[in-house]
Amino acid sequence: MATPEYLMDRLTSALSAAKEMGSVWVWATGLGPLRNAFPDLFGRELILVFSDGAAKEGCFCFEKNGALYALIHGSKSAEAERRILSGSIVQLWSDDGWFSAEARMLPGEEAEAVLAGIHERELYGAIGARAMAGRAISRVIQLRRIAACTGKKGPGQYAWIWALFSFYLLIRSLFRPKK
């Protein structure tokens, strides 16, 4: 018989996976900048696309002294570290655009220095700070933008879904039986 702790761990991991998939989907359908429209409430988010192209990671981010930093939490940090060490060039989808960037994992002391003086509300927003309360930041990644990207496999690659959905709603409203 499963213990309540086991069930809670399974539920937490399932919700975390759904959030990750949801973050990437929001950016892929072109709604990512809307997600970042209220950073005071929800924090700022970006998507890291690792060099293998298959792995995408949603991360909270912040800028300090002109540098961009991403925060990786929990079990994802070891996987992200392995991917960054195998190829430090990543793509990032942010509200500023789609960029190729160089990623560098900050060692513990350097990460602590970067995070010094930054309140959780600045990192996660008012609502996100409540959800993230008590969770330790596993890794801090420093990102240096190299060049802007263009092409098919970036943020907004599935934005056509909204046009199709709008067309469906229009047709449905035109051919709805009148009462």
Task: Look at residue 152 in the predicted model and tell me its pLDDT.
Answer: 83
DSSP state of 51: T
Rounded to a whole number of angstroms, the CA Rg of the chain reads 19
Spans of the chain, pLDDT less than 70 = 1, 8-9, 11-21, 53, 74-75, 133-137
CA 31: distance to chain centroid? 12
Task: Look at residue 40 in the predicted model and tell me its pLDDT.
Answer: 87
Task: Look at residue 150 in the predicted model and tell me its pLDDT.
Answer: 86
Give the pTM: 0.76
How big is the CA angle at 125 (ends 46 and 102), to the nearest 5 degrees?
25
Task: Look at residue 12 in the predicted model and tell me its pLDDT.
Answer: 62
Task: Look at residue 15 in the predicted model and tell me its pLDDT.
Answer: 58
Task: Look at residue 168 in the predicted model and tell me its pLDDT.
Answer: 93
Q: Return d(Cα 156, Cα 25) in angstroms, integer.
A: 9
Q: Give me the residues paired with residue 71 across strands.
A: 60, 140
Q: Return d(Cα 69, Cα 114) in angstroms, integer.
A: 9
Domain boundaries, the chain: 4-174
- Name the CATH code of domain 4-174 (choices 3.90.550, 2.30.110, 1.10.890, 3.80.10): 2.30.110
Q: Return d(Cα 41, Cα 61) in angstroms, integer.
A: 14
